[in-house]
Amino acid sequence: MAWKVPMTGPLVGEEEANAVRQVILSGWLSGGPKVPEFERAFADFIGVRHAVALCNGTVALHAVLVAMGIGPGDEVIVPDITFISTATSVVHAAATPVFADIDPVTLNLDPQSMERQITARTRAVMPVHYAGQAADMDEILAIARQHGLEVIEDAAEAHGAEYRGRKVGSLGRAAMFSFTPNKNITTGEGGMVTTDDAELAERLRLLRNHGSKITYLHEMVGYNYRMTQMQAAMGIEQLRKLPRILERKRQLAAMLSKAVQEVPGLEPPGSLADRTHVYQLYTIRVNPALAGVTRDQLRDGLTRLGIETRVCFPPLHSQPIFRSGAVLGGSLAQSDRAGEEIVSLPIHNTMTDHETAYIGEGLQGAACR
Ligand SMILES: *Cc1c(COP(=O)(O)O)cnc(C)c1O
Protein backbone atom coordinates (compact mmCIF):
# COMPACT_ATOMS: atom_id res chain seq x y z
CA MET A 1 0.00 0.00 0.00
CA ALA A 2 1.06 3.60 -0.50
CA TRP A 3 1.56 5.01 3.00
CA LYS A 4 0.65 8.59 3.85
CA VAL A 5 3.48 8.47 6.37
CA PRO A 6 6.03 5.70 5.65
CA MET A 7 8.55 4.38 8.21
CA THR A 8 11.66 5.53 6.35
CA GLY A 9 12.73 8.40 4.09
CA PRO A 10 16.47 8.91 3.68
CA LEU A 11 17.73 12.48 3.34
CA VAL A 12 19.60 12.16 0.04
CA GLY A 13 19.79 14.59 -2.84
CA GLU A 14 22.01 16.51 -5.25
CA GLU A 15 25.17 16.17 -3.12
CA GLU A 16 25.02 12.36 -3.08
CA ALA A 17 23.92 12.20 -6.74
CA ASN A 18 26.86 14.38 -7.84
CA ALA A 19 29.37 12.44 -5.77
CA VAL A 20 28.20 9.10 -7.18
CA ARG A 21 28.08 10.53 -10.71
CA GLN A 22 31.71 11.66 -10.46
CA VAL A 23 32.80 8.22 -9.32
CA ILE A 24 30.94 6.52 -12.14
CA LEU A 25 32.40 8.84 -14.78
CA SER A 26 35.90 8.28 -13.35
CA GLY A 27 35.56 4.60 -14.25
CA TRP A 28 37.17 3.60 -10.90
CA LEU A 29 34.28 1.78 -9.23
CA SER A 30 35.87 -0.36 -6.52
CA GLY A 31 39.20 -0.53 -4.67
CA GLY A 32 39.74 3.21 -5.14
CA PRO A 33 40.49 6.19 -2.89
CA LYS A 34 36.91 7.01 -1.81
CA VAL A 35 36.79 4.10 0.65
CA PRO A 36 39.86 5.15 2.72
CA GLU A 37 38.62 8.76 2.56
CA PHE A 38 35.25 7.72 4.03
CA GLU A 39 37.01 5.49 6.60
CA ARG A 40 39.26 8.37 7.74
CA ALA A 41 36.35 10.79 8.06
CA PHE A 42 34.27 8.24 9.98
CA ALA A 43 37.12 7.29 12.37
CA ASP A 44 37.72 10.99 13.11
CA PHE A 45 34.00 11.55 13.70
CA ILE A 46 33.77 8.68 16.22
CA GLY A 47 37.15 9.46 17.80
CA VAL A 48 38.93 6.15 17.12
CA ARG A 49 42.15 5.27 15.30
CA HIS A 50 40.73 2.92 12.69
CA ALA A 51 37.59 2.46 10.63
CA VAL A 52 37.09 -0.35 8.12
CA ALA A 53 34.28 -0.10 5.58
CA LEU A 54 32.43 -3.23 4.47
CA CYS A 55 29.53 -3.89 2.13
CA ASN A 56 26.89 -4.04 4.90
CA GLY A 57 26.51 -4.13 8.67
CA THR A 58 25.65 -7.82 8.93
CA VAL A 59 28.86 -9.01 7.28
CA ALA A 60 30.78 -6.38 9.25
CA LEU A 61 29.67 -8.12 12.48
CA HIS A 62 30.56 -11.50 11.00
CA ALA A 63 34.02 -10.25 10.00
CA VAL A 64 34.65 -8.85 13.51
CA LEU A 65 33.78 -12.19 15.11
CA VAL A 66 36.03 -14.10 12.68
CA ALA A 67 38.84 -11.56 13.16
CA MET A 68 38.61 -12.11 16.93
CA GLY A 69 38.87 -15.87 16.43
CA ILE A 70 35.35 -16.53 17.72
CA GLY A 71 33.89 -19.73 16.24
CA PRO A 72 32.62 -23.24 16.94
CA GLY A 73 31.99 -23.97 20.64
CA ASP A 74 32.02 -20.27 21.59
CA GLU A 75 29.05 -18.37 22.97
CA VAL A 76 28.24 -14.70 22.37
CA ILE A 77 25.67 -12.93 24.56
CA VAL A 78 23.22 -10.64 22.73
CA PRO A 79 20.10 -8.78 23.90
CA ASP A 80 16.84 -10.56 23.10
CA ILE A 81 15.28 -7.44 21.52
CA THR A 82 17.31 -6.49 18.44
CA PHE A 83 17.42 -6.86 14.67
CA ILE A 84 18.09 -10.44 13.63
CA SER A 85 21.67 -9.79 12.39
CA THR A 86 23.02 -9.31 15.91
CA ALA A 87 22.34 -13.01 16.44
CA THR A 88 22.67 -14.45 12.92
CA SER A 89 26.16 -12.96 12.52
CA VAL A 90 27.16 -15.15 15.48
CA VAL A 91 25.62 -18.17 13.73
CA HIS A 92 27.49 -17.23 10.52
CA ALA A 93 30.72 -17.45 12.55
CA ALA A 94 29.59 -20.97 13.67
CA ALA A 95 29.35 -19.78 17.29
CA THR A 96 26.22 -19.79 19.49
CA PRO A 97 24.17 -16.68 20.31
CA VAL A 98 22.85 -16.58 23.88
CA PHE A 99 19.94 -14.28 24.57
CA ALA A 100 19.84 -11.98 27.61
CA ASP A 101 16.93 -9.94 28.91
CA ILE A 102 16.47 -6.22 28.39
CA ASP A 103 15.89 -3.13 30.50
CA PRO A 104 12.15 -2.29 30.36
CA VAL A 105 12.73 1.48 30.03
CA THR A 106 15.43 1.68 27.33
CA LEU A 107 14.94 -1.82 25.79
CA ASN A 108 18.74 -2.16 25.99
CA LEU A 109 20.70 -5.17 27.25
CA ASP A 110 20.23 -5.67 31.01
CA PRO A 111 23.76 -6.05 32.49
CA GLN A 112 22.52 -8.28 35.35
CA SER A 113 20.77 -10.65 32.97
CA MET A 114 23.88 -10.64 30.79
CA GLU A 115 26.05 -11.61 33.77
CA ARG A 116 23.72 -14.52 34.60
CA GLN A 117 24.16 -15.91 31.07
CA ILE A 118 27.96 -16.14 31.27
CA THR A 119 29.33 -19.69 31.05
CA ALA A 120 32.81 -21.21 30.58
CA ARG A 121 32.18 -20.99 26.81
CA THR A 122 31.27 -17.28 26.68
CA ARG A 123 33.77 -15.34 24.56
CA ALA A 124 32.04 -12.06 23.82
CA VAL A 125 29.08 -9.83 24.52
CA MET A 126 27.41 -7.75 21.85
CA PRO A 127 25.43 -4.88 23.40
CA VAL A 128 23.12 -3.07 20.96
CA HIS A 129 22.53 0.67 21.25
CA TYR A 130 18.82 0.16 20.70
CA ALA A 131 17.04 2.77 18.54
CA GLY A 132 20.05 5.07 18.86
CA GLN A 133 20.53 5.22 22.65
CA ALA A 134 23.66 3.74 24.25
CA ALA A 135 23.43 0.58 26.32
CA ASP A 136 24.71 0.61 29.95
CA MET A 137 28.30 0.42 28.73
CA ASP A 138 30.18 1.07 32.02
CA GLU A 139 28.37 -1.83 33.73
CA ILE A 140 28.73 -4.08 30.67
CA LEU A 141 32.45 -3.28 30.26
CA ALA A 142 33.12 -3.92 33.96
CA ILE A 143 31.40 -7.33 33.90
CA ALA A 144 33.16 -8.22 30.62
CA ARG A 145 36.55 -7.28 32.07
CA GLN A 146 35.94 -9.44 35.15
CA HIS A 147 35.16 -12.46 32.97
CA GLY A 148 37.69 -11.79 30.19
CA LEU A 149 35.06 -11.22 27.48
CA GLU A 150 35.35 -9.21 24.27
CA VAL A 151 32.86 -6.34 23.92
CA ILE A 152 31.56 -5.70 20.40
CA GLU A 153 29.15 -2.77 20.13
CA ASP A 154 26.29 -3.21 17.68
CA ALA A 155 26.02 0.51 16.93
CA ALA A 156 24.06 -0.06 13.70
CA GLU A 157 21.37 2.38 14.87
CA ALA A 158 23.49 4.87 16.78
CA HIS A 159 25.70 7.07 14.55
CA GLY A 160 26.69 10.07 16.65
CA ALA A 161 25.04 8.92 19.90
CA GLU A 162 27.00 9.81 23.04
CA TYR A 163 27.43 7.96 26.32
CA ARG A 164 28.74 9.96 29.30
CA GLY A 165 30.44 12.39 26.92
CA ARG A 166 31.97 9.78 24.58
CA LYS A 167 30.70 8.65 21.19
CA VAL A 168 29.41 5.12 20.92
CA GLY A 169 31.66 3.11 18.65
CA SER A 170 34.68 4.05 20.78
CA LEU A 171 33.67 2.15 23.93
CA GLY A 172 34.18 -1.56 23.17
CA ARG A 173 37.08 -3.38 21.47
CA ALA A 174 35.21 -2.89 18.16
CA ALA A 175 31.88 -1.52 16.98
CA MET A 176 29.70 -1.88 13.89
CA PHE A 177 27.66 0.82 12.13
CA SER A 178 25.15 0.16 9.33
CA PHE A 179 24.27 2.39 6.37
CA THR A 180 21.17 0.59 5.13
CA PRO A 181 18.46 3.08 4.02
CA ASN A 182 16.45 3.10 7.27
CA LYS A 183 19.48 4.16 9.35
CA ASN A 184 20.22 7.83 10.16
CA ILE A 185 22.74 8.01 7.29
CA THR A 186 22.85 5.65 4.32
CA THR A 187 25.04 4.45 1.47
CA GLY A 188 22.25 2.29 -0.02
CA GLU A 189 23.82 -0.67 1.76
CA GLY A 190 27.01 -0.45 3.77
CA GLY A 191 28.76 -1.08 7.06
CA MET A 192 31.68 0.25 9.10
CA VAL A 193 33.76 -1.19 11.91
CA THR A 194 35.48 1.22 14.30
CA THR A 195 38.31 0.20 16.63
CA ASP A 196 41.50 1.45 18.28
CA ASP A 197 43.12 -1.95 17.69
CA ALA A 198 45.47 -1.74 14.68
CA GLU A 199 45.92 -5.52 14.40
CA LEU A 200 42.18 -6.12 14.40
CA ALA A 201 41.71 -3.45 11.72
CA GLU A 202 44.41 -5.09 9.61
CA ARG A 203 42.77 -8.54 9.91
CA LEU A 204 39.41 -7.02 8.92
CA ARG A 205 41.00 -5.48 5.81
CA LEU A 206 42.39 -8.89 4.89
CA LEU A 207 39.10 -10.72 5.55
CA ARG A 208 37.24 -8.13 3.47
CA ASN A 209 39.44 -8.80 0.45
CA HIS A 210 39.83 -12.61 0.14
CA GLY A 211 42.66 -12.64 2.72
CA SER A 212 44.84 -10.84 0.21
CA LYS A 213 47.06 -7.75 0.37
CA ILE A 214 49.10 -8.56 -2.73
CA THR A 215 46.98 -9.44 -5.78
CA TYR A 216 46.41 -13.22 -6.04
CA LEU A 217 48.45 -13.96 -2.90
CA HIS A 218 46.09 -15.22 -0.16
CA GLU A 219 47.26 -15.29 3.48
CA MET A 220 43.95 -16.45 4.96
CA VAL A 221 40.52 -17.62 3.84
CA GLY A 222 38.63 -14.39 3.39
CA TYR A 223 35.51 -13.03 1.77
CA ASN A 224 34.47 -10.38 -0.70
CA TYR A 225 33.04 -7.92 1.83
CA ARG A 226 34.31 -4.78 0.04
CA MET A 227 32.48 -1.46 -0.09
CA THR A 228 32.24 0.15 -3.55
CA GLN A 229 33.52 3.61 -4.44
CA MET A 230 29.92 4.71 -5.10
CA GLN A 231 28.87 3.72 -1.57
CA ALA A 232 31.87 5.49 -0.03
CA ALA A 233 31.33 8.67 -2.07
CA MET A 234 27.74 8.74 -0.84
CA GLY A 235 28.85 8.06 2.74
CA ILE A 236 31.22 11.04 2.74
CA GLU A 237 28.31 13.34 1.81
CA GLN A 238 25.94 11.72 4.31
CA LEU A 239 28.44 12.09 7.16
CA ARG A 240 28.54 15.86 6.44
CA LYS A 241 24.75 15.97 6.81
CA LEU A 242 24.66 13.89 9.99
CA PRO A 243 24.66 16.78 12.53
CA ARG A 244 21.71 18.37 10.73
CA ILE A 245 19.94 15.01 10.51
CA LEU A 246 20.37 14.39 14.26
CA GLU A 247 19.14 17.88 15.14
CA ARG A 248 15.95 17.29 13.13
CA LYS A 249 15.52 13.85 14.74
CA ARG A 250 15.57 15.46 18.19
CA GLN A 251 12.88 17.95 17.08
CA LEU A 252 10.69 15.22 15.60
CA ALA A 253 11.08 13.04 18.70
CA ALA A 254 10.11 15.96 20.97
CA MET A 255 6.98 16.60 18.89
CA LEU A 256 6.03 12.92 18.87
CA SER A 257 6.63 12.54 22.61
CA LYS A 258 4.36 15.47 23.37
CA ALA A 259 1.58 13.82 21.36
CA VAL A 260 2.20 10.36 22.85
CA GLN A 261 2.02 11.72 26.42
CA GLU A 262 -1.43 13.12 25.74
CA VAL A 263 -2.83 9.65 25.08
CA PRO A 264 -3.54 7.58 28.23
CA GLY A 265 -1.77 4.23 28.21
CA LEU A 266 0.94 5.19 25.70
CA GLU A 267 4.52 5.69 26.88
CA PRO A 268 7.17 7.58 24.87
CA PRO A 269 10.67 6.05 24.55
CA GLY A 270 12.62 6.16 27.82
CA SER A 271 15.66 8.41 27.40
CA LEU A 272 18.37 8.70 30.06
CA ALA A 273 20.12 11.92 31.12
CA ASP A 274 23.73 10.65 30.81
CA ARG A 275 23.47 9.72 27.10
CA THR A 276 22.08 11.21 23.92
CA HIS A 277 19.38 9.44 21.91
CA VAL A 278 19.69 9.78 18.10
CA TYR A 279 16.27 8.26 17.37
CA GLN A 280 17.01 5.97 14.46
CA LEU A 281 13.80 4.41 15.77
CA TYR A 282 11.01 5.95 17.82
CA THR A 283 9.52 3.12 19.87
CA ILE A 284 6.54 3.55 22.18
CA ARG A 285 4.89 1.13 24.58
CA VAL A 286 1.17 0.43 24.73
CA ASN A 287 -0.35 -0.42 28.13
CA PRO A 288 -3.62 -2.04 26.98
CA ALA A 289 -5.36 -1.70 30.37
CA LEU A 290 -4.95 2.09 30.26
CA ALA A 291 -5.07 2.67 26.50
CA GLY A 292 -8.23 0.63 25.98
CA VAL A 293 -6.59 -1.03 22.96
CA THR A 294 -3.87 -3.60 22.49
CA ARG A 295 -0.66 -2.79 20.63
CA ASP A 296 -1.94 -4.65 17.59
CA GLN A 297 -5.29 -2.81 17.64
CA LEU A 298 -3.41 0.49 17.81
CA ARG A 299 -1.30 -0.58 14.83
CA ASP A 300 -4.45 -1.52 12.87
CA GLY A 301 -5.95 1.89 13.60
CA LEU A 302 -2.80 3.68 12.41
CA THR A 303 -2.63 1.48 9.30
CA ARG A 304 -6.18 2.52 8.38
CA LEU A 305 -5.00 6.14 8.56
CA GLY A 306 -2.06 5.39 6.25
CA ILE A 307 0.55 5.57 9.01
CA GLU A 308 3.13 2.79 8.74
CA THR A 309 4.37 1.15 11.95
CA ARG A 310 6.68 -1.75 12.75
CA VAL A 311 7.43 -3.91 15.76
CA CYS A 312 11.14 -3.27 16.30
CA PHE A 313 11.83 -5.99 17.19
CA PRO A 314 10.08 -9.27 17.97
CA PRO A 315 12.12 -11.13 20.65
CA LEU A 316 14.92 -13.20 19.10
CA HIS A 317 13.96 -16.30 21.11
CA SER A 318 10.50 -16.24 19.52
CA GLN A 319 11.90 -16.41 15.98
CA PRO A 320 11.34 -19.69 14.09
CA ILE A 321 15.10 -20.03 13.52
CA PHE A 322 15.84 -19.89 17.26
CA ARG A 323 12.76 -21.53 18.78
CA SER A 324 14.42 -24.87 19.41
CA GLY A 325 17.85 -25.85 20.64
CA ALA A 326 20.68 -23.43 21.14
CA VAL A 327 19.07 -20.86 23.45
CA LEU A 328 20.20 -21.22 27.05
CA GLY A 329 17.99 -20.76 30.10
CA GLY A 330 17.33 -17.60 32.03
CA SER A 331 14.29 -15.38 32.24
CA LEU A 332 13.42 -13.22 29.26
CA ALA A 333 10.33 -11.81 30.97
CA GLN A 334 10.95 -8.16 30.09
CA SER A 335 11.66 -9.07 26.50
CA ASP A 336 8.46 -11.14 26.30
CA ARG A 337 6.44 -8.23 27.69
CA ALA A 338 8.07 -5.77 25.27
CA GLY A 339 7.32 -8.18 22.43
CA GLU A 340 3.61 -7.68 23.18
CA GLU A 341 3.66 -3.94 23.92
CA ILE A 342 6.19 -2.06 21.77
CA VAL A 343 5.61 -0.43 18.40
CA SER A 344 7.85 1.88 16.39
CA LEU A 345 6.37 4.96 14.70
CA PRO A 346 7.73 6.77 11.62
CA ILE A 347 10.61 9.16 12.34
CA HIS A 348 12.79 10.24 9.44
CA ASN A 349 14.31 13.26 7.81
CA THR A 350 11.87 13.79 4.99
CA MET A 351 8.96 13.82 7.47
CA THR A 352 7.25 17.21 7.75
CA ASP A 353 5.85 18.90 10.87
CA HIS A 354 2.42 18.37 9.34
CA GLU A 355 2.98 14.61 8.99
CA THR A 356 4.28 14.49 12.56
CA ALA A 357 1.13 16.20 13.82
CA TYR A 358 -0.92 13.73 11.73
CA ILE A 359 0.71 10.84 13.61
CA GLY A 360 -0.26 12.54 16.91
CA GLU A 361 -3.90 12.85 15.79
CA GLY A 362 -3.76 9.28 14.55
CA LEU A 363 -2.66 8.05 17.98
CA GLN A 364 -5.56 9.90 19.64
CA GLY A 365 -8.02 8.41 17.16
CA ALA A 366 -6.62 4.90 17.20
CA ALA A 367 -6.36 4.65 21.02
CA CYS A 368 -9.49 6.18 22.61
CA ARG A 369 -12.04 4.21 20.60
C1 LIG B 1 20.36 -2.54 10.75
C2 LIG B 1 20.91 -3.37 11.83
C3 LIG B 1 21.86 -4.38 11.57
C4 LIG B 1 22.23 -4.84 10.19
O5 LIG B 1 22.82 -3.92 9.37
P6 LIG B 1 22.76 -4.15 7.77
O7 LIG B 1 23.63 -3.08 7.25
O8 LIG B 1 21.33 -4.00 7.37
O9 LIG B 1 23.26 -5.51 7.47
C10 LIG B 1 22.42 -5.05 12.65
N11 LIG B 1 22.07 -4.77 13.91
C12 LIG B 1 21.15 -3.84 14.20
C13 LIG B 1 20.81 -3.56 15.63
C14 LIG B 1 20.51 -3.13 13.17
O15 LIG B 1 19.57 -2.22 13.48
Q: Residue 253: which CATH number?
A: 3.90.1150.10
Please count the other Cβ atoms lying within 10 Å of the Cβ belonging to residue 353.
10
Q: Are residues 99 and 228 in the same domain?
A: yes
Mean pLDDT of 12-33: 97
Ligand 1 atom closest to the Cα of residue 129 is 13
Q: Are residues 150 and 276 in the same domain?
A: no
Answer yes or no: is 81 within a domain: yes
- Residues 203-224 have pLDDT tens digits of 999 999 999 999 999 999 999 9
Confidence of residue 43 (pLDDT cuts 50, 70, 90): very high
pLDDT score of 367? 80
How far is Cα 193 from Cα 177, in angstroms, rounded to an integer? 6
Answer yes or no: is 8 within a domain: no
Report whether residue 127 contacts ligand 1, using a CB cutoff of 6 Å: no
Judge whether 76 and 118 are in contact, CB under 8 Å: no
Q: Are residues 177 and 276 in the same domain?
A: no
Estimate to the nearest angstrom the gap between the alpha carbon of 72 and the chain centroid: 25
CA of 84 to the centre of ligand 1 (A): 8
Confidence of residue 335 (pLDDT cuts 50, 70, 90): very high
Ligand 1 atom closest to the Cα of residue 58 is 9
Q: Is residue 125 predicted with pLDDT exceeding 80?
A: yes
Question: Which of 178, 210, 238 is the C-terminal boundary of a domain?
Answer: 238
Q: Give the residue, out of 86, 90, 130, with the most ligand 1 atoms within 8 A of its beta carbon, to mutate for a pocket test.
A: 86
Q: Is residue 325 predicted with pLDDT exceeding 60?
A: no
Answer yes or no: is 71 within a domain: yes
Answer yes or no: is 230 within a domain: yes
Which one of 34, 167, 183, 241 is the catalytic residue?
Answer: 183
Q: Give the residue, out of 99, 102, 128, 157, with the most ligand 1 atoms within 8 A of its beta carbon, to mutate for a pocket test.
A: 157
Q: Are residues 211 and 254 in the same domain?
A: no
Question: Which of 171, 206, 238 is the C-terminal boundary of a domain?
Answer: 238
Judge whether 319 and 332 are in contact, CB under 8 Å: no
Q: Whose CA is nearest to atom 2 of ligand 1?
A: 156
Ligand 1 atom closest to the Cα of residue 82 is 13
Mean pLDDT of 54-64: 98
CA of 152 to the centre of ligand 1 (A): 14
Report whether residue 57 contacts ligand 1, using a CB cutoff of 6 Å: yes
Q: At what angle do helices 14-26 and 229-261 cross, to 10 degrees?
A: 160
Report whether residue 58 contacts ligand 1, using a CB cutoff of 6 Å: yes
Report whether residue 156 contacts ligand 1, using a CB cutoff of 6 Å: yes
Q: Are residues 131 and 38 in the same domain?
A: yes
Q: Whose CA is nearest to atom 5 of ligand 1?
A: 57
Q: Is residue 131 predicted with pLDDT exceeding 90?
A: yes
Answer yes or no: is 5 within a domain: no
- Residues 233-274 have pLDDT tens digits of 999 999 999 999 999 999 999 999 999 999 999 999 999 999
Answer yes or no: is 6 within a domain: no
Q: Are residues 191 and 270 in the same domain?
A: no
Number of compact structural domains in the chain: 2
Q: Are residues 208 and 334 in the same domain?
A: no
Q: Are residues 255 and 272 in the same domain?
A: yes
Ligand 1 atom closest to the Cα of residue 89 is 10
Q: Is residue 369 predicted with pLDDT exceeding 60?
A: no
Answer yes or no: is 3 within a domain: no
- Give me the amino acid identity at 59: V
Whole-model pTM: value is 0.97
Q: Are residues 28 and 159 in the same domain?
A: yes
Q: Are residues 70 and 112 in the same domain?
A: yes
CA of 155 to the centre of ligand 1 (A): 8
Question: Which residues, 6 or more positions from 176, have their beta carbon under 8 angstroms from its beta carbon?
Answer: 57, 60, 61, 64, 152, 153, 154, 155, 156, 191, 192, 193
Average model confidence (pLDDT) for the chain?
96
Q: Where are the alpha helices (DSSP H) in 27-105?
A: 34-46, 57-67, 85-92
Q: Are residues 272 and 132 in the same domain?
A: no
> Which of 339, 346, 256, 359 is closest to 295 using CA atoms?
339
Q: What CATH number is associated with residue 132?
A: 3.40.640.10
Report whether residue 88 contacts ligand 1, using a CB cutoff of 6 Å: no
CA of 56 to the centre of ligand 1 (A): 8
Q: Terminal CA-to-CA distance of the chain, rounded, Å? A: 24
Question: Which of 176, 209, 238 is the C-terminal boundary of a domain?
Answer: 238
Q: Give the residue, out of 83, 89, 106, 281, with the most ligand 1 atoms within 8 A of its beta carbon, to mutate for a pocket test.
A: 83
Q: Is residue 324 predicted with pLDDT exceeding 90?
A: no
Q: Are residues 137 and 40 in the same domain?
A: yes
Q: Is residue 202 predicted with pLDDT exceeding 80?
A: yes
CA of 366 to the centre of ligand 1 (A): 30
Ligand 1 atom closest to the Cα of residue 57 is 7
The yes-or-no answer on residue 183 being catalytic is yes
Answer yes or no: is 158 within a domain: yes
Report whether residue 85 contacts ligand 1, using a CB cutoff of 6 Å: yes
Share of the chain above pLDDT 70, in %: 98
- Structural domain that includes position 285: 242-367
Judge whether 124 and 65 are in contact, CB under 8 Å: yes
Judge whether 46 and 238 are in contact, CB under 8 Å: no
pLDDT score of 323? 79
Q: Where are the alpha helices (DSSP H) in 133-272?
A: 137-147, 198-208, 229-261
pLDDT score of 28? 96
pLDDT score of 366? 85
